[in-house]
Structure 1
Amino acid sequence: MDKNIKRLNGQRITDEELSDRLAVLDRIVVKHTRFNELHEAIRECHVLQSKSLNKKGLCILGDTGAGKSTLFKTYESFHPRETRVKKINNQTVTFPKVPVLRVELDSNSKPLNVASKMLEELGDPFHYKGTEKQLTTRLKGFIEDCEVELIIIDELQHLIDTDTQRVIRKAADWLKQLVNDVNLPIVFGGIKDDASRIFSSNKQLDERFPYKPSFPGFKYETEKEKKEFCTFLNSIEFKLPFPDNSELADPYLSEKLYYASLGIPRTLNHLLYHSTKIALKDGMDRIEERHLQEGFDQLSFETRPRVKNPFHGKVFDLRVAIASEKLTKSTK
């Protein structure tokens, strides 16, 4: 496979070229079937409600690392910001036009923190000053001035990290009021089991988000699921910074790659990052299994303490490996 990438042929790669090639991995976005379906769901939520009196929201819930944040960033990139000049009290004021306001919540966020972060994204120099009520009031004004059309709030579960019903109810009430006041389509993203609790605590908020599609990782049981995962691997393969094909979608390697990542794109990306770096430093023009073996050893699997490195150059049985890992956990 010729990608017009310089061949190393076993020669040592310079630090600059290594850095350039590794940067390619950070820019890889694979728009697979589920990604495209959810991108279209966001687009419809955004553009098809312009004449609706009461805007409905969308909440995308799924596994950690499945690609929600990448999806949101990609959608935001299709709607770049512009500069607007307005007259306010006979003074010329410059505002950014922000068609899509996207914020990613920090851990242990409270409504005040959310309002502050949204104001910061909208360019308020005093986003850190004021009470929750003051910041929220200012936020509504900035949303109007910046001509926001769609709001995306990612990592929704961080709004209820403190696990008390009072905190959850307060967060849900604040979100419901914000949704009602701005009357814009809002997209939430979060971890399914955690974020869904905020809707169960407020019926009115839940009713404003009738569609809550899931964004899971890949599966690898049916032939269709195997084909989807291998298509995903082929798409990544095409974008890797090597001139030669590493045969990632070959059944021999695809099973091992699925086991190593359990179908989670972020985990797979980490594995390929380390493996790519090792292969390039070896002067190789493709990833070989030994590079995946070393790359796997550099990963941390805190939630899978009994996981085994599958890249050992031998025949591998996915079902046996997964069953063995689960059995070991249950008998620990």
Structure 2
Amino acid sequence: MDKHTFSRLGGSAINEIELQERLLMLDQIVVHHQRFLDLYQVIQDCHIFKKGAAILGETGAGKSTLFKTYESRYPKETKVKTVNNHKIEYDIVPVLRVELDSNSKPQNVASKMLQKLGDPFYDKGTEKQLTSRVKEHIKDAEVELLIIDELQHLIDTDTQRVIRKAADWLKQLLNDLNLPIIFGGIMEDAKRIFASNKQLDERFPYKPTFYGFKYVTEEQKKEFRGFLKSIDYQLPLAEHSSIYDPYLSEKIYYATLGIPRTLSHLLHHSVKTALKAGKDKLDERDLQYGFSLLSLETRPKVVNPFHGKAFDLKVALEKEKEKPSKN
């Protein structure tokens, strides 16, 4: 979106309605960087050539956004057919994407599929009954591709018996549906499901990885800065903020470790701060405040890098890993 489409604030407070509209635009930004495009092509190939794949990745790297983007290309369509001289409406769902809830069981997965397919009694029945109805609905809805995301939630109970049961159920579903299926999940956890069932693992020998950005080599730095530049162009602000320059990009990498979801949270808080102050672009003080609102529990030693001074990424990362000295 061009910057001129946003009115200049010039220091005047933004009204609440426009603030919410701009923040909604911000949260909808999706950058199709090279890894995103490569994995989008993987899904498309699976769809066209009726193959399966398991796309595994780091938390927050963008895997779920990738799946939603592909699903949006094939929206649900309502059609009408005549049965016994009566016209009946039914839905065609070319791509069925299901995101599993925490601690899901096969019965929960079947129920979630039925809900997405419009079955009003999606939560009624045994595992066997629900699974049987899933197969019928998938056929009726002319589903061409099934995407099951957050696969690791099938093993939250964390016992070998539960893992084997989930793997067996998935394998049988694959055999019965004869559809291309994309699995998505957090890398190490999802791998345990495949490791528990040799036949299931053999059905998905291709397991590409969706990882966050790195910032070590010049090529990696260029890639991350290019990602930031694409985002900067789409920020709901009247002017460019140059968050991709070497000074800020290094600090932003440290703050997010190259994880798009964390970056999204940082920018949401920072842009909101800037807009409420009537600013037309981000500055480092906005990023400083935005970072202070993040809760990074897995990084207890992380420091706020947006302090207006020179910053050494390597030194900062090493300090964060240091063990506390013994007195």
TM-score (normalizing by structure 2): 0.97
1:6 aligns with 2:7: yes
Q: Write the deviation string for residues 215-250 of structure 1: whole angstroms up to 9, x where unpaired.
A: 000000001100000000000000001111111010
Aligned residue type for 2:92: K
Say whether 1:189 aligns with 2:190.
no
Query: Which residue among 225, 228, 240 is the counterpart of 1:230?
Result: 225
In the TM superposition, 1:173-212 aligns within 5 A as 173-212=168-207
With over 3 angstroms needed to count, the CA separation of the structure-2 counterparts of 1:88 and 1:144, relative to structure 1, is farther
- Identity across matched positions, percent: 66
Number of the residue aligned with 1:272: 267
Give the Cα–Cα distance (whole angstroms) in 1 for the partners of residues 10 and 316 of structure 2. Answer: 35
SS in 2 for 1:34: helix
CA contact (8 A) 1:57 1:186 kept: yes
Aligned with 1:314 (options 305, 309, 317): 309
Deviation at 1:89, TM superposition (A): 6.3
| Paired AA for residue 104 in structure 1 | E
Q: Which amino acid aligns with 1:3?
A: H
- 1:302 alignment partner AA: E
Gaps of 5+ in 1: 50-55
The residue matched to 1:255 in structure 2 has which SS?
A: helix
For residues 157-186 of structure 1, give each alpha carbon's deviation from its aligned partner in whole angstroms, at most 9, with x where no partner exists.
001111100000000000000001000000
In structure 2, the gaps of 5 or more residues are none
Q: 1:91 to 1:206 in 2, by over 3 A?
A: farther
| Equivalent in the alignment of 2:211 | 216
The corresponding residue for 2:158 is: 163
Q: Report the residue type matching 1:282 in the other structure.
A: A
Q: Distance in 2 between matches of 1:60 and 1:325?
A: 30
Post-superposition shift, 1:141? 0.3
Amino acid at match of 2:296: F
What SS is found at the alignment partner of 1:123? coil
How far does the alpha carbon of each residue in 1:269-289 deviate from its partner, in whole angstroms, 9 at most, with x for none? 000000000001111100000
Q: Is the 8 A contact 1:306 1:328 kept in 2?
A: no
Identify if the C-alpha distance between structure 1 residues 331 and 232 changes in structure 2 by more than 3 Å, giving closer, same or farther: farther
> Once the two structures are superposed, what CA deviation does each residue of 1:93-118 show, in whole Å capped at 9, x if it has no partner?
32210000001000000000000000
Amino acid at match of 1:32: H
Alpha-carbon deviation of 1:2? 4.2
2:166 and 2:324 map into 1 onto residues whose CA distance is: 36
Distance (whole Å) between structure 2 residues aligned to residue 170 and residue 188 of structure 1: 17
Alpha-carbon distance between aligned partners in 1 of 2:4 and 2:49, rounded to the nearest angstrom = 40
Q: Is 1:31 matched with 2:32?
A: yes
- Matched residue type, 2:109: V
- Structure-1 residue corresponding to 2:286: 291
C-alpha spacing 1:282/1:16, structure 2 compared with 1 (3 Å) = same
